[in-house]
Structure 1
Amino acid sequence: MTATQTAAPAQALPGEEGSGLDIRGLHKHYGSFRAVDDIDLAVPEGSFFALLGPSGCGKTTTLRMVAGLEEPTSGEIRIGGAEISHLRPFQRPVNTVFQSYALFPHMTIFENVAFGLRRRREPDIDRRVNEMLELVEMSHLAKRKPTQLSGGQQQRIAVVRALVNKPKVLLLDEPLGALDLKLRRQLQLELKRIQGEVGITFIHVTHDQEEAMTMADTIAVLNKGKVEQVGAPVELYENPRSAFVAGFLGQTNLLSVNVISRDASTVAVDFHGVRLTMPADRLSASGTAVEAGVRPEKISMADLGQAPSGMNTIDGTIIDASFIGVSTQYVVRAVADAEEEVAVFSQNSATRIRQVGEQVSLHWHPEHTFGLHEGAWIEAEAAEVAS
């Protein structure tokens, strides 16, 4: 088959017409190494979906298999219900935006965006290109060359050059990685706005947790070729189902505890003689010995013995305090166990900054506690290092 020929349309499954991206049993092996190990994902049409994880977790390999740049060892990839894994890259209803932008330096911005349309001899080229340039408010730069644009402007052009071809799925392979922090945050919101206006399914690969949570409707957290958890950003952050997710999406405290009672709604645990509680549906581990987790920003500090009633409370001594502008980050050593340390993020509002050596009562609402399997703190530390 030559580059100018097209493949026969892939057949959609009954009832799947119009669906987004569907991946089933996807594997990619390099010898004995499993880069992607039995991944299942269902991405709704028109959503902004992120593949998040550390380097080597399989996220980029997964994206490249969807794009047709890597051949799966096994598994199915469907878009709109049609199996596409046997199609060549140019035959798939996808376009990819890379970190390098890959703009043609000898062409104007207008011609860069029009390139794919001209190759396929499509109608209304001028109108469609101008619509895309207006989408990113860059019509006035149409006659410039890529080298005359900033990195952020080049990134916008790379996106609309891919969108002008009207793909069913736009693949974004860490497109903001080469930009400075301020511009990256600006373009995160810009990409989210563009996706909302065009309504095309976006699949975004990133190792940046904040970027994924800012932009995506749904995030799949990958680790060692497998999917750890899929959900909305708030769901993953507030209710992680594994230590890796808890540690990769922000910082968390994990306390070694023992379950002392449970019913349909509440689990009570013992932390070295201190009773703590959590909702039963937030304990994702079985057995008696588990880890109780709580995010540092959920914890408040009071003078020793002055914690409000009805809260989970641990007494301790401040052993470190770091002022970072909007907040102060404390480390408190629990009185109940000198080896347990708890991180606390406290907003620098009307409250005073506490000093190292002060004895305090840490307290948080029981509903902000979640439970993981015993030894989870080791996995969480590994996830924080990876992030």
Structure 2
Amino acid sequence: MTEQTTGTAIPAPTPAETSAPAPAATPAAGGGDVRLTGIGKTYGTATAVHPLDLTVPQGSFFALLGASGCGKTTTLRMIAGLEDPTSGTVVIGGQDVTALPPYKRPVNTVFQSYALFPHLDIYENVAFGLRRRGRKDVKKQVEDMLELVELGPLARRKPHQLSGGQQQRVAVARALINHPQVLLLDEPLGALDLKLRRQMQLELKRIQTEVGITFVHVTHDQEEAMTMADTIAVMNAGRIEQLGAPADLYENPATTFVANFLGQSNLIPAEVTGASGDDLLLTAGSTRLTVPRARCTTDATRVHLGVRPEKITLTHADADIAEGRNRLTGTVVDSSFIGVSTQYVVRTDTGQELAVFEQNMDRDTRVTAGATVLLHWNPAHSFALDAAQAIDAGTTEGDA
């Protein structure tokens, strides 16, 4: 959701941002968890969100991650009460809020556009929700909130005198001062440049840790989700593809979509030909490879063997390699120096192009475009997925 204001027009405050959260019912087991049960949304014959079950633990930083049109924002808006679900229930802190309007839910929402009041200074922007509720003595609460977001010295400035990141922190402070059980963030950093966005990722995580309330954050940015979230739900076509901690999703993707969308993966078509101890034996073209049985998600014999670009070591073809490592030979077709690393594209003997990321430490000057090279990696860094899945799922906007 993107709102813009022009001139001195006053942006209309949304109920979710400015009204007092309704007192929650006495929490049942699960405390302040957000529980979605069978929640779904259709628009005519189009399905935005297929019925899904999801629990967001109290006090966690939770991310809904996916590309445009995957259903993540619609899911957030159903939690906020800004969209009525076609099916299912929304329970927050043990209270069924499915039928409640936004202003009666114990949530506040921060959008990509900050929608600050341009004629009010920062202090009064943050105090707005309390004053709207008839509170007279707001000084201590506003000062505490401005200290939390590290904007105390700027309290009497107007929004146009602040940077984008500072304005975003004001929007967060204005939402948090009402003490919601859950703060919902809809692409809150999308309007910021890359450097400022990375700074704000750390700031939001710090704020969430300090206040200890549940944050549910919608984003299309994989790095943003992995930097901030305790748990990520990767969404695709209105469904949750995989749910878990960032490191687990990255190291152990369950589908080709997750492997490609969360970071970058090399997926190599291969066939399972046997087993040796805890390893599966594979062939890719005429090359033999292995993968731990525990890192194979399927019983199928045709698989996609996956390995992340940074897990691969690239050497000149005449280098000595330790036994037991997976290896492929190929030719460098492209290289890009990006500072911290060099990114290579290598066409292997199987005819497939693989990406390799090498840190810029002791670079082999012989590894240039046209050079014959050897790629090798620890088999434990591989994973195997059912080849019935599209090998390029998650690589384009259309897959979302």
- Which range, TM-score by smaller chain? over 0.9
Equivalent residue letter for 1:307:
I
Q: What number of residue pairs does the alignment pair up?
A: 381
Alignment partner, residue 352 of structure 1: 364
Alignment partner, residue 352 of structure 2: 340
Q: Is the 8 A contact 1:244 1:383 kept in 2?
A: no
Aligned in 2, Cα 1:86/1:263: closer, same or farther, shift over 3 Å?
farther
Equivalent residue letter for 2:244:
G
Distance in 2 of aligned mates of 1:189 and 1:210? 12
Distance in 1 of aligned mates of 2:342 and 2:95? 52
Alignment partner, residue 330 of structure 1: 344
**1:167 maps onto 2:180 in alignment:** yes
Q: Deviation of residue 304 (structure 1)?
A: 2.0
SS of the residue aligned with 1:245?
A: helix
Q: TM-score normalized by structure 1?
A: 0.93
Distance in 1 of aligned mates of 2:398 and 2:239? 18
Q: Is the 8 A contact 1:43 1:49 kept in 2?
A: yes
Q: Which region of structure 1 is more displaced relative to structure 2, 155-164 or 314-323?
A: 314-323
Aligned in 2, Cα 1:211/1:134: closer, same or farther, shift over 3 Å?
same
Aligned in 2, Cα 1:165/1:14: closer, same or farther, shift over 3 Å?
closer
Distance in 1 of aligned mates of 2:292 and 2:26? 43
Aligned in 2, Cα 1:6/1:274: closer, same or farther, shift over 3 Å?
closer
**1:109 maps onto 2:149 in alignment:** no
Q: Is the 8 A contact 1:109 1:141 kept in 2?
A: yes
Distance in 2 of aligned mates of 1:344 and 1:202? 35
Distance in 1 of aligned mates of 2:397 and 2:252? 17
Distance in 1 of aligned mates of 2:203 and 2:303? 42
Matches within 5 A, 1:86-235: 86-122=99-135, 124-235=137-248
Q: Deviation of residue 325 (structure 1)?
A: 2.1
Matches within 5 A, 1:252-331: 252-262=265-275, 265-304=278-317, 306-331=320-345
- Residues 327-358 of structure 1: per-residue CA shift (max 9 Å, x gap): 111111222x2x21211111111122411222
Unpaired stretches in structure 2, ≥5 consecutive residues: 1-14
Unpaired stretches in structure 1, ≥5 consecutive residues: none
Aligned in 2, Cα 1:135/1:8: closer, same or farther, shift over 3 Å?
closer
Distance in 2 of aligned mates of 1:199 and 1:8? 19
Aligned in 2, Cα 1:386/1:107: closer, same or farther, shift over 3 Å?
farther
Q: Deviation of residue 121 (structure 1)?
A: 2.7
Alignment partner, residue 30 of structure 1: 43
Q: Deviation of residue 262 (structure 1)?
A: 3.7
SS of the residue aligned with 1:111?
A: helix
Q: Is the 8 A contact 1:99 1:173 kept in 2?
A: yes
Q: Deviation of residue 384 (structure 1)?
A: 7.3
Aligned in 2, Cα 1:62/1:256: closer, same or farther, shift over 3 Å?
same
Equivalent residue letter for 1:86:
A
Aligned in 2, Cα 1:216/1:264: closer, same or farther, shift over 3 Å?
farther
Q: Is the 8 A contact 1:251 1:384 kept in 2?
A: no
Aligned in 2, Cα 1:22/1:265: closer, same or farther, shift over 3 Å?
farther
Equivalent residue letter for 1:344:
V
Distance in 1 of aligned mates of 2:275 and 2:25? 51
Q: Is the 8 A contact 1:247 1:384 kept in 2?
A: no
RMSD of aligned alpha carbons: 2.1
Q: Is the 8 A contact 1:173 1:204 kept in 2?
A: yes
Matched-pair identity in %:
58
Q: Deviation of residue 190 (structure 1)?
A: 0.4
Distance in 1 of aligned mates of 2:329 and 2:389? 23
SS of the residue aligned with 1:352?
A: coil
Distance in 1 of aligned mates of 2:195 and 2:311? 27
Equivalent residue letter for 1:345:
F
Alignment partner, residue 43 of structure 1: 56
SS of the residue aligned with 1:380?
A: coil
- Residues 159-208 of structure 1: per-residue CA shift (max 9 Å, x gap): 01000100000000001111111111111100000000000100000001
- Residues 285-308 of structure 1: per-residue CA shift (max 9 Å, x gap): 231111100001100022325222
- Residues 116-150 of structure 1: per-residue CA shift (max 9 Å, x gap): 11222347521111000011221121122212222
Q: Deviation of residue 13 (structure 1)?
A: 7.3
